[in-house]
């Protein structure tokens, strides 16, 4: 039996997801509710058994290199991974503050699945970020717009390390699969 908290060590074959405004798709056959967002899912006409999805109410389809045989948890996880905020959401739920505060002149240190990183806010115009022993890299703290100081540190980390999504790719994907296990998929009749 698989549980939502189980960690699967094997890496999933990455799905190819593309914006496809001129895709030829059949009528949607399912709706996938993931959290508070609902997506329509349809089969593509011009690609054997491949799927396409779009947020309910949107006009633009995204093609997905998955078939129904991949299963709804995998399909919904790939849909989740298209969200540009997915990495920030992952860090919000997985970054454990070990010490410090995010204030001018101080450092806040986090542990994210064994990876140690820190943000030091030098002043209102400059922050320094160390990630897994790399750094410090300078970042502009004004990129952080969230009112919560912890969230601001996460936003500064993401700005300082543009390749952060690749560094956490496997863990983010596994997290998306766990979240997708709670998706509600209903047929469209």
Answer whether residue 79 shows pLDDT above 90: yes
| pLDDT tens column, 117-129 | 999 999 889 999 9
Q: State the average pLDDT for the chain.
A: 88
Q: How many CA atoms lie within 13 A of 109 on its CB side?
A: 8
**Tally: H helices and E strands in the chain:** 5, 11
Q: What is the mean pLDDT of residues 168-178?
A: 93
CA distance 140 to 104: 13
Opening angle at CA 88, ends 86 and 107, nearest 5: 165
Please compute the mean of the pLDDT values over residues 143-164 and round it to a whole number: 93
H or E stretch at 125: none
Res 10: pLDDT: 53
pLDDT tens-digit readout, 4-59: 445 554 556 667 777 877 778 889 999 999 989 999 999 988 777 789 999 999 98
Q: Where residue 186 falls among pLDDT bands split at 50, 70, 90? A: very high
Residue 171 has pLDDT above 60, yes or no: yes
Give pLDDT, residue 124. Answer: 86
């Amino acid at each position: 039996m698989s549980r939502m908290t189980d960690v699967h060590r094997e890496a999933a074959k990455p799905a190819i997801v593309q914006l496809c405004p001129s895709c030829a798709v059949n009528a949607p056959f399912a709706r996938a509710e993931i959290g508070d967002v609902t997506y329509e899912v349809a089969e593509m006409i011009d690609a054997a058994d491949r799927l396409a999805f779009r947020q309910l109410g949107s006009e633009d389809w995204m093609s997905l290199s998955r078939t129904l045989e991949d299963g709804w948890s995998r399909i919904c996880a790939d849909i989740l991974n298209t969200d540009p905020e997915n990495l920030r959401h992952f860090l919000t739920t997985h970054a454990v503050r070990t010490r410090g505060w995010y204030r001018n002149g101080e450092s806040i240190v986090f542990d994210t699945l064994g990876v140690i990183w820190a943000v030091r806010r030098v002043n209102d115009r400059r922050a320094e970020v160390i990630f897994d022993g790399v750094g410090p890299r300078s970042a502009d703290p004004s990129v952080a717009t969230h009112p919560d100081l912890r969230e601001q540190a996460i936003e500064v980390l993401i700005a300082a390390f543009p390749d952060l999504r690749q560094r956490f790719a496997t863990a983010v994907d596994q997290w998306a699969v766990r979240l997708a296990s709670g998706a509600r998929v209903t047929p469209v009749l």
